């Protein structure tokens, strides 16, 4: 995954808790209960990240998850109608998420974990399909991987030394 350093202090970040799980560790005196929180943060303008927080109390786990997500922000390329520039497949572990470009008026067609990521990235028109494992953490990370690996026509044109019109033709 490409991570360029993004100054999160200048962004208006919103958070969404995707899942909270109670996990336990069996020790000599019984079981130690803890909570893990999977949190997605984004500014609704092309920046999104996900993080995992673990603590003995739920609010503390969410706070840690948010801090972790802010450290892992990625930039998402978007086109004129708030969709993605091209179709893409994001993979993480055994989860794959197919991201399909959609015309204006389609809305967000996505399952729970992928929907949280796409909404916070500021994408308004997209179709997604979760393939393989439906593990929430892996689906979120696969979606972010797919969005982070998108390239805008401008970036491709610059890389090839051509104009955007030549590439789009």
The Cα–Cα gap between 84 and 70 comes to: 22
Structural class in CATH, domain 8-74: alpha beta
Q: Are strands 108-109 and 126-132 parallel, antiparallel or unpaired?
A: parallel
- Classified by CATH at the fold level, domain 77-159 comes out as Ribosomal Protein S5; domain 2 (3.30.230)
The domain spans of the chain are 8-74, 77-159
Q: What is the mean pLDDT of residues 153-169?
A: 82
Burial 31-45 (b: 16+ CB within 10 A, else e): eeeebbbbbbbbbbe
| Integer angstrom CA distances of residue 31 from 26, 28, 34, 37, 150 | 4, 8, 10, 19, 44
The Cα–Cα gap between 69 and 64 comes to: 9
> What is the per-residue pLDDT across 13-50, written as a single tens digit (0 to 9) for each?
899 999 999 999 999 999 999 999 999 999 988 899 99
Q: What is the mean pLDDT of residues 135-164?
A: 90
> DSSP letters along 67-96, please?
HHHHHT-EE----TTSS-SS-EEEEETTEE
Q: Which residues contact 22 (CB under 8 A, 6 or more apart)?
A: 33, 34, 35
Do 39 and 16 meet the contact criterion of CB atoms below 8 Å apart?
Answer: yes
Percentage of residues in the chain having pLDDT higher than 90: 70
Q: Is the pLDDT of residue 120 over 80?
A: yes
The confidence band for 11, taking pLDDT boundaries of 50, 70 and 90, is confident
The Cα–Cα gap between 53 and 36 comes to: 6
What string of H, E and C letters represents the secondary structure of 109-141?
ECCHHHHHHHHHCCCCCEEEEEEECCCHHHHHH
Q: What pLDDT is attached to residue 87?
A: 93
| Integer angstrom CA distances of residue 6 from 10, 44, 61, 120, 134 | 9, 15, 23, 16, 29
């Amino acid at each position: 995954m490409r991570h360029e350093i993004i100054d999160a202090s200048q962004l208006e970040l919103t958070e969404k808790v995707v899942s909270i799980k109670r996990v336990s560790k069996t020790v000599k005196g019984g079981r130690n209960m803890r909570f893990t929180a999977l949190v997605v943060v984004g500014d609704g303008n092309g920046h999104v990240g996900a993080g995992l927080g673990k603590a003995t109390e739920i609010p503390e786990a969410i706070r840690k998850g948010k801090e972790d997500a802010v450290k892992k922000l990625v930039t998402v390329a978007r086109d004129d109608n708030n969709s993605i520039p091209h179709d893409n497949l994001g993979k993480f572990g055994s989860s794959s998420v197919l991201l399909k470009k959609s015309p204006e008026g389609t809305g967000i067609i996505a399952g729970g974990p992928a929907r949280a990521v796409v909404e916070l990235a500021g994408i308004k028109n997209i179709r997604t399909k979760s393939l393989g494992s439906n593990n929430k953490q892996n689906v979120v990370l696969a979606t972010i991987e797919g969005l982070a690996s998108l390239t805008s026509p401008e970036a491709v044109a610059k890389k090839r030394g051509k104009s955007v019109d030549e590439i789009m033709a």
